[in-house]
Chains A and B, each alone.
Chain A
């Protein structure tokens, strides 16, 4: 009985494993076809002539530009979010001033309202501020960073709250200035929570579609996900090229994930447990 039950769960998990892998395999194999052989060859078996030409096609069509845009937006947004939210969490937890209490109330409001609901006024505001379709991606960066504020601050607050007060007291005896406490104590301790948040917010920024869709119009200002859609319009039935672009857009994340698998799994799962 016990063995039967166990093999049933293993079977379920294995079926799911295949459901996850089969579409990815299909897509990967398609990238090695050409526009012509995609129509004629067996789409499930690596028979016939395989080529890398789709990869050169998409780089020739400007995939590199989308990569750079996504990289720029992700790096700058993460820097903004991580520094600002850690600083704010430190303030809030160290001194319960009226300002810090009101700040936390505002944060909870933003948490309750899904971002998609306010995209229309965000668009109008970004136009008003002259940041629409900005070649520096300033509008996209600021909006994506602002969106990440509520969850990031809450995660940071629960991290700072968990720092044992004895550690603060030990420093307080020395008459340490707040700034010193932050740099010597909180900052060094915060590496795990920073990597957790970097993974979660970074994934959200890198894969965001709606914000660049609404806030940019020049194709070369798109980030990767929107760029994929431009490719689809451009290549129409050249499916291998589109699939190559999708694979390449995931590749940096895949490499990062395989290198730091443990942190990613703990990071993503840990977000909800805090």
Chain B
């Protein structure tokens, strides 16, 4: 009876809007459906389409690039900034406060802001390039084949580094100070302390932050949809964007579901792999990590 009161409503809410769609996603990937009429069984047709769809393959490559670039940019910077703001001096809290600001903006807001700033004819960067004759700043940041994807990843990093900085700040503050005092007594240099004390002590934070970056960048959607819509060509078309187009532009729901399965499986595999490789397979870190 108490289970019914305590767990009933939440199970219904969560079951209907999360668990049913998870099952539905798998089922739908074996059907052909244009959104109207009745779906019909298609066996592996959607999966054959995935294997033979060159755009899907390109999306896969673009998505992996986003994941790797995001991790490479965000992890070292967040770690360095997190250690910096973990210091207790008063002026560092001013830094810490300002560092959080990008977190308060929606990705839609971030996209529009950077879109205006980077606009090749009217944007602030183009203005600087023009006024000061800095030719390398004069670029079509979001419209050129080579620059669009790195530019988007840098904008995403601008938005998400603050969160990971907070994680590292908390992680550093949770390391007992006695360990540092002991290291100082032993005459350890700054680098030795960093490599042999700080980094190992931060291992859970590193795993957590990495899983969040990897899973997050596998599923980024908003910024690609708003700023480039996959272009130029398919240079910035990520899997989630292609899934969205298949469902909501081409009414190809079965295939969209198959792409959704791919995204979901990649996320689970990536999170599992990081946790396995780093050897922190406890449920605790896994729970904190995937969240």
Give bound CA distance, A269 to B127, whole Å. Answer: 38
Q: Note all chain B residues with C-beta closer than 8 A to A225.
A: 106-109, 222
Which of chain B's residues has its CB closest to A44's CB?
B124
CB distance from B255 to the nearest CB of A (A): 10
In the assembled complex, A73 has its CB within 8 A of some CB on chain B: no
Which of chain B's residues has its CB closest to A108's CB?
B287
B2 and A113 contacting across the interface, CB-CB below 8 Å: no
Which of chain A's residues has its CB closest to B87's CB?
A9
Give bound CA distance, A237 to B115, whole Å. Answer: 12
Partner of B288, one of A209, A226, A272: A272
A12 and B80 contacting across the interface, CB-CB below 8 Å: yes
Chain A 213-245: CB-based contact to B (< 8 A → 1; otherwise 0): 110000000001110110010000101001100
Instruction: Please count how many residues in chain B sit with their CB below 8 Å of the partner chain's CB atoms.
Output: 95
Contact A44-B158, Cβ < 8 Å, known A9-B84, A91-B2, A121-B21: no
Interface residues of B in 269-291 (CB under 8 A from A): 271, 287-291
Give bound CA distance, A243 to B119, whole Å. Answer: 14
Chain A 99-115: CB-based contact to B (< 8 A → 1; otherwise 0): 11001001111111111
A100 and B7 contacting across the interface, CB-CB below 8 Å: yes
Give bound CA distance, A97 to B8, whole Å. Answer: 14
B219 and A149 contacting across the interface, CB-CB below 8 Å: no
Could you name 26 residue pairs across A and B whose Cβ atoms are closer than 8 Å?
A12-B80, A17-B99, A19-B158, A23-B114, A26-B116, A43-B127, A91-B6, A110-B22, A112-B271, A113-B22, A114-B215, A120-B247, A120-B257, A125-B20, A151-B291, A209-B108, A224-B106, A229-B226, A242-B116, A243-B113, A246-B105, A253-B104, A265-B166, A269-B167, A272-B289, A273-B170
Closest 10 interchain pairs by CB? A91-B6, A146-B17, A121-B24, A207-B106, A225-B108, A269-B170, A117-B264, A121-B21, A225-B106, A269-B166
Chain A contact residues, CB within 8 Å of chain B:
2, 5, 9-10, 12-13, 16-17, 19-21, 23-24, 26-27, 30, 38-39, 42-44, 80, 84-85, 87-88, 90-92, 95, 97, 99-100, 103, 106-125, 142-143, 145-147, 149-151, 153-154, 178, 203, 206-210, 213-214, 224-226, 228-229, 232, 237, 239, 242-243, 246, 249-250, 253-254, 257, 261, 264-266, 268-274
